[in-house]
Amino acid sequence: MTLTKKKKRILLIALPAALAVIAAAVILWLLLGRDTPKALEPLYNQTTGELMGYTVLEGSPKEEENRSLPLPMASFTPPEGWTQTLNAAEYADRFSTGYVDEYQSLENDYTTLTFSQQYAVEGDTLPAGQEVQFGNFQVIYWQEEESGRDLGYHTEVYWVDGPTLFTISYRYAPGADLNQMLELVSRVDTQGDRQPIHSPLTLARGSYTPILMGENTYSAIVTRPRSEGNPEIPQDAQFVGFSQPPEGYLISELYEENNNHGNPDFYTWGYYHSEDNQKWIRLDCWLGSNACNSNGSREGGFGIMSNATDSDAILDATVHGNPAFVYLTEDGCEIGWVEGYRTYSLTVDTPMTQEELIALAETVEIPEG
């Protein structure tokens, strides 16, 4: 069959138009017909079919060295009736791998609200719960009664946004329903420019509370002796230790192999005695304070100094003119001090006098400038 010139012109005009319609249809199908990619995948028991949890599909790389530092810091605005007891911005720095903001109810001292941010590590498994779609996010909601307490429930929601796993925990209170927790999710702002709040380093003795057990009263630690503050850490920041091992001691390779695993702002040196490897010295160096770990949790502080039964057992001292704490026991001793943007802890497992411990601490090499 032979086409006339007129029919050829019609075909040349109609064909591109038809292709455009088909392309538009394909784009519409891609946008509406396909499922939105999910960051979390349900994990089921292959035998019972029970939901076991969720696996992170899209988030941060599993290898720590491939994650960008610091983790972006989002903000959270609590409802009325809450006072903030821990501000993540006061501990955040360029090495931060996570953040924790804590709030306490003004009506009930036991009721707490916690907003946490950490890397959503691809391949990690998270708790099971009720899954809902809230905006662009899969939100997982779960609740359980506080074990061994008559204080209420632990209610939690979590979701993944970009590299971050967000969690909101509501504890020691009547159970919050799904809608109440989603209202809290809506109070998270990931678009703002939340910045660290800088302040100089200081030392804090920690706090204690009396506990009555039978006829005896004991002192329980609430917060550990620690350094506080959030100095700005320079780009060329460095860890500082002994220029050479203390006399009679050798450096332990065990500590060297385990440094910087998840704690880019912390370094430890370990030394053992050349004639008795049961005798050891440990030197810790933090870039910034040791009140919070780099993930933002309030688990930091000095070491055996935390065994002190009250703050009076911790002595004031100085190391090269910088404020220091000293803790002496029959089994060992520790000195902690701050200098510039660093915090130090020197622990020895044999008894020493305060003067001997300070003299050893002052052999730590402090860079000029």
Number of C-beta neighbours around residue 183 at 10 A: 11
Structural domains in the chain plus CATH codes:
40-189 (2.60.120), 199-361 (3.40.1000)
Give the tens place of pLDDT for each residue, 107-122: 887 899 999 999 999 9
Hey, is 172 helix, strand or coil?
strand
Instruction: Give the Cα separation of 130 and 199 in Å (integer).
Output: 42
What per-residue confidence (pLDDT) applies to 48?
Answer: 96
Give the tens place of pLDDT for each residue, 166-186: 999 999 878 899 999 999 999
Residue with the larger pLDDT of the pair 356 and 13? 356
What is the average pLDDT across 62-81? 94
Taking the chain, what is the end-to-end CA distance rounded to the nearest angstrom? 92
Closest CA to 56 of 166, 170, 142: 166
What per-residue confidence (pLDDT) applies to 224?
Answer: 84
Give the tens place of pLDDT for each residue, 297-310: 666 789 889 888 77
Triad 229, 232, 235: Cα angle to 5°: 145
What is the average pLDDT across 264-282? 90
Triad 286, 288, 291: Cα angle to 5°: 85
Give the tens place of pLDDT for each residue, 173-222: 788 999 999 999 999 999 988 999 999 999 998 775 655 555 665 555 56
Instruction: Give the Cα separation of 169 and 278 in Å (integer).
Output: 43
What per-residue confidence (pLDDT) applies to 16?
Answer: 41
**Is the per-residue pLDDT at 46 higher than 50?**
yes
Kindly indicate the confidence band of residue 30, based on its pLDDT and cuts at 50, 70 and 90: very low
Q: Is the separation of the CB atoms in 341 and 233 below 8 Å?
A: yes
Using omega within 30 degrees of 0 as the cis cutoff, is the peptide bond preceding 70 cis?
A: yes
What per-residue confidence (pLDDT) applies to 2?
Answer: 47
